């Protein structure tokens, strides 16, 4: 397909992109990664402006987008609610319409449960430039495509039958969104992977997203199974992705209040033994690779021996956030004019 067909396309969920479009983004990511390694300039977005709206702070997402935009020849504005009229209640519609008249792309992170994805889609409804999700309460497409790129680098383009374990893990840092595991589940099945999801019953993923992931897998020769046994999930796995997520999906209308937080905290304390350690890694395949979107809660989600060990590919995964971000920006903001 022609790259110009992606110009102006929103990037809110990978589910909205065809495999052909995702493959083009991956091919572009690889090309830009090679250019970056060789020190070749790739100013595909000369003099263009990206507005980055962060309702929550970030390390990999903010820096991959800002550095990427600089390397593409443009400029990124780092915007937080205190720098905008968002703190005074300006609507998503007004924000999108104003910023899209001033620049060439808008990227936003809004992970507030029950709010984030709706906010991004409301901006997309009114924006005349592409809206790119930097993570919301349901999806994290920038992380998903970087994860897929990393997996293909280690295991090849043909990922059919690759055994991947997405596991809940104990953490004390904060109640992490559902967006990363849900994005991975939706995406990996489309690439024919054999995915096992391990989580205590108190920490499910959203039912409608699970249902869609099962359809994705069936259509593409993948397989998805669910278990509440972390050890069983690790057996024979070639890739393990143990990461905490909150129990938000347990509540039909989650409200971030003391009652809900207390219930999630009480549930969390039941599963302190859900940690990725050397014992569990030995249950996996000899070639197993450990992945994590970062930041990892060391000593809770994972031991230092694992995350710093030979099986860990977290820094390759993090670097690929740069190359995939550049590809998405170049394809949606650039293209033929």
Residue 224 φ then ψ, to 5°: -130, 130
Rounded to whole angstroms, the Cα distance separating 8 from 295 reads 31
The domains of the chain are located at 3-140+319-333, 143-317
Give one DSSP letter per residue of 115-139, joined into a string: THHHHHHHHHHH-SS-EEEEEESS-
HEC string of 177-241?
A: CCHHHHHHHHHHHHCCCEEEEECCCCCCCCHHHHHHHHHHHHHHCCEEEEECCHHHHHCCCCEEE
Residue 284 φ then ψ, to 5°: -80, 180
Quick one: CA torsion of 203, 55, 15, 4, rounded to 10 degrees? -160
- Please say whether the beta carbons of 29 and 326 come within 8 A: yes
Q: Is the fold of 3-140+319-333 the same as that of 143-317?
A: yes
* Residue whose C-alpha is closest to residue 247's, from 232, 268, 229: 268
How do residues 206-251 score in pLDDT, each as one tens digit?
999 999 999 999 999 999 999 999 999 999 999 999 999 998 887 7
- Please say whether the beta carbons of 250 and 202 come within 8 A: yes
Classify domain 143-317 by CATH number: 3.40.50.1370
Query: Edge-to-edge, what's the strand order for the sheet holding 289-290?
Result: 223-227, 194-198, 163-167, 239-242, 289-290
Q: How confident is the model at residue 254 (pLDDT cuts 50, 70, 90)?
A: low
Who has greater pLDDT, 335 or 170? Answer: 170
Rounded to whole angstroms, the Cα distance separating 250 from 166 reads 19
Rounded to whole angstroms, the Cα distance separating 224 from 226 reads 7
How do residues 10-19 score in pLDDT, each as one tens digit?
999 999 999 9
- Please say whether the beta carbons of 240 and 284 come within 8 A: yes
pTM reported for the whole predicted model: 0.95
pLDDT at 336: 41
* Non-local CB neighbours of 24 within 8 Å, separated by 6+ positions: 1, 3, 6, 331
What CATH topology corresponds to 3-140+319-333? Answer: Rossmann fold (3.40.50)
How do residues 53-68 score in pLDDT, each as one tens digit?
999 888 899 999 999 9
Rounded to whole angstroms, the Cα distance separating 328 from 3 reads 11
Residue 184 structure tokens: 């991975």
């Amino acid at each position: 397909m022609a790259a110009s067909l992606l110009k102006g396309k929103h990037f809110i969920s990978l589910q909205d992109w065809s495999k052909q479009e995702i493959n083009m983004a991956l091919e572009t990511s690889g090309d830009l990664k090679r250019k970056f390694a060789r020190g070749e300039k790739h100013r595909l977005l000369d003099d263009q402006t990206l507005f980055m709206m962060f309702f929550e702070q970030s390390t990999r997402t903010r820096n991959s987008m800002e550095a990427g935009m600089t390397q593409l020849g443009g400029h990124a504005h780092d915007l937080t609610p205190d720098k905008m009229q968002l703190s005074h209640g300006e609507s998503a519609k007004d924000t999108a319409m104003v910023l899209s008249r001033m620049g060439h792309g808008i990227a936003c992170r809004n992970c507030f449960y029950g709010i984030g994805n709706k906010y991004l889609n409301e901006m997309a409804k009114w924006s005349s430039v592409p809206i790119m999700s930097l993570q919301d309460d349901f999806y994290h497409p920038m992380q998903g495509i970087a994860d897929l790129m990393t997996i293909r680098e280690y295991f090849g383009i043909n990922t059919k039958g690759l055994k991947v374990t997405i596991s809940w893990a104990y953490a004390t840092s904060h109640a992490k969104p559902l967006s990363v595991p849900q994005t991975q589940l939706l995406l990996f099945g489309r690439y024919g992977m054999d995915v096992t999801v391990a989580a205590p019953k108190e920490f499910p993923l959203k039912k409608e997203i699970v249902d869609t992931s099962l359809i994705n897998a069936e259509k593409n020769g993948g397989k998805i199974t669910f278990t509440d046994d972390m050890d069983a999930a690790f057996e024979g796995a070639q890739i393990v992705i143990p990461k905490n997520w909150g129990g938000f999906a347990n509540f039909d209308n989650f409200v971030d209040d003391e009652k809900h937080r207390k219930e999630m905290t009480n549930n969390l304390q039941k599963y302190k033994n859900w940690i990725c350690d050397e014992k569990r890694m030995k249950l996996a395949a000899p070639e197993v690779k450990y992945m994590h979107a970062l930041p990892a809660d060391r000593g809770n989600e994972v031991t230092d021996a694992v995350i710093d060990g030979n099986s860990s590919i977290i820094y390759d995964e993090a670097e690929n956030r740069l190359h995939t971000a550049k590809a998405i920006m170049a394809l949606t903001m650039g293209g033929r004019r």
